[in-house]
Amino acid sequence: MTYPKLRVGLIGAGRIGRIHAETIALHVPSAIAVGISDFNLSVAQEVAGKYGIPRVTTHSEELLSDTSIDAIVISSPTETHADLIIAAARAGKHIFCEKPIDLDLSRIDSALAAVEKASVKLQVGFNRRFDANFRRIHEAVAGGEIGTPHLLHIVSRDAEPPSIAYVKSSGGIFFDMTIHDFDMARFLIGDEVEEIYATGAVRIDPEIGAAGDLDTAVTLLRFRGGAIGTIDNSRKAIYGYDQRAEVFGSAGAIATGNAYRNEAVISTAREIKRDLPLNFFIDRYATSYIDEVRAFVDAVLNNRPVAVSGLDGRIPVAMAAAAYVSYKENRPVKLAEIAA
């Protein structure tokens, strides 16, 4: 089925929901947001007023039952994702859902089964795949430009730690932060991870440790094809949001660095310097957020495969679970132990 313009309902009007509302209103002319729901009515009304969304409700069921809505964008809290995917699929809606689908693999499997049964599309919001620099690494590896991949290194460090309330509810660093890097590892190398070894510490804020989490971690990945990967994470890089990656192969290497507000370099007799990198993920990945929604809308309107599938959403959750087992038991963990 094709649509002249995709009619979208938004569930969740928080930080990411607002980004998607702005994207649809300003950057995706082939889609229109016709409704938005959030348990906080005033927040939903604010977003709706700013981006011309005619319908506001505190009940997502009203959007799901509206037969004029073609697709649902889910940006609500993680614990609601799986149930909303199931409800949207049963209502015949195509679905864009922020990561993760859930922290429990069995609940993810239930959601994916509902999507398959309904024959609707599901795209998961791993937006970093749409970053032009990371996509160029993916293309170089896939095209054989650097030969056979031997080593992958991902640096992913936040500018500031999240709130303690967020840490307590997010599932922890491997689920709320490294999960992006687990997805990027698969995307950049084009292969599946077989084994994970993770170690970590509390080096930034003792309250994070008291909440049962880590703020510093290194994860070792062994890929099915033989490549080895490392991911290093920190909850706080004082110089800004640090996002870098390199793949080293048999015929060369490709790397990408941080994004900056400008490319100016100041040279004096005393020093050579530049401005600090972008300090927030919304700034660093602003274009990626736009491009992922464009890709979803295009997949629905033109009946094409989505760029990030439900399975792509499941595997990084299994990797995060394996990382936690590895950290707690101080041993390598095969994905087969977790993902079955």
Tell me which of 120, 140, 168 is where a domain ends. Answer: 120
Neighbouring CB atoms inside 10 A of 242's CB total: 19
What sign results for the dihedral spanned by CA atoms 7, 9, 15, 18?
Answer: positive
Residue 67 sits in the same domain as residue 205: no
Instruction: Answer whether residue 294 is part of any domain.
Output: no
- Give dist(CA 217, CA 187) in Å, integer: 21
Residue 112 sits in the same domain as residue 142: no
Residue 101 sits in the same domain as residue 133: no
Q: What is the pLDDT of residues 116-138, one digit of tens each?
A: 999 999 999 999 999 999 999 99
Between vectors from CA 336 to CA 335 and to CA 340, what angle results, nearest 5°? 115
Q: What is the pLDDT of residues 305-322, one digit of tens each?
A: 999 999 999 999 999 999
Compute the residue count for the chain: 340
What average pLDDT is seen over the chain?
96
Residue 111 sits in the same domain as residue 29: yes
SS3 22: helix
Please say if the pLDDT value at position 50 is more than 90. yes
Residue 114 sits in the same domain as residue 137: no
Omega cis (within 30) before 77 = no
Which residues have CB under 8 Å from 322's CB, separation 6+? Answer: 196, 333, 334, 335, 337, 338, 339
Enclosing domain of residue 172: 129-280+316-339
Instruction: Answer whether residue 288 is part of any domain.
Output: no
Which residues have CB under 8 Å from 27's CB, separation 6+? Answer: 290, 293, 294
Residue-level pLDDT at 122: 98
Pairing verdict, β 193-201 and 228-234: unpaired
Q: What is the pLDDT of residues 23-44, one digit of tens each?
A: 999 999 999 999 999 999 999 9
- Give dist(CA 194, CA 233) in Å, integer: 20
pLDDT tier, 4 (very low <50, low <70, confident <90, very high otherwise): confident
Please say if the pLDDT value at position 1 is more than 70. no
Q: b/e for 187-222, b at 16 or more Cβ within 10 A?
A: bbbebebebbbbebebebbeebeebebbbbbebbbb
- Check which CATH number belongs to the domain holding 115 and give it: 3.40.50.720
- Give dist(CA 274, CA 263) in Å, integer: 8
Instruction: Answer whether residue 298 is part of any domain.
Output: no
Number of domains in the chain: 2
Rounded to two decimals, the pTM is: 0.95
Residue-level pLDDT at 208: 97
pLDDT tier, 3 (very low <50, low <70, confident <90, very high otherwise): low
Tell me which of 120, 143, 178 is where a domain ends. Answer: 120
Largest CA distance in the chain: 68
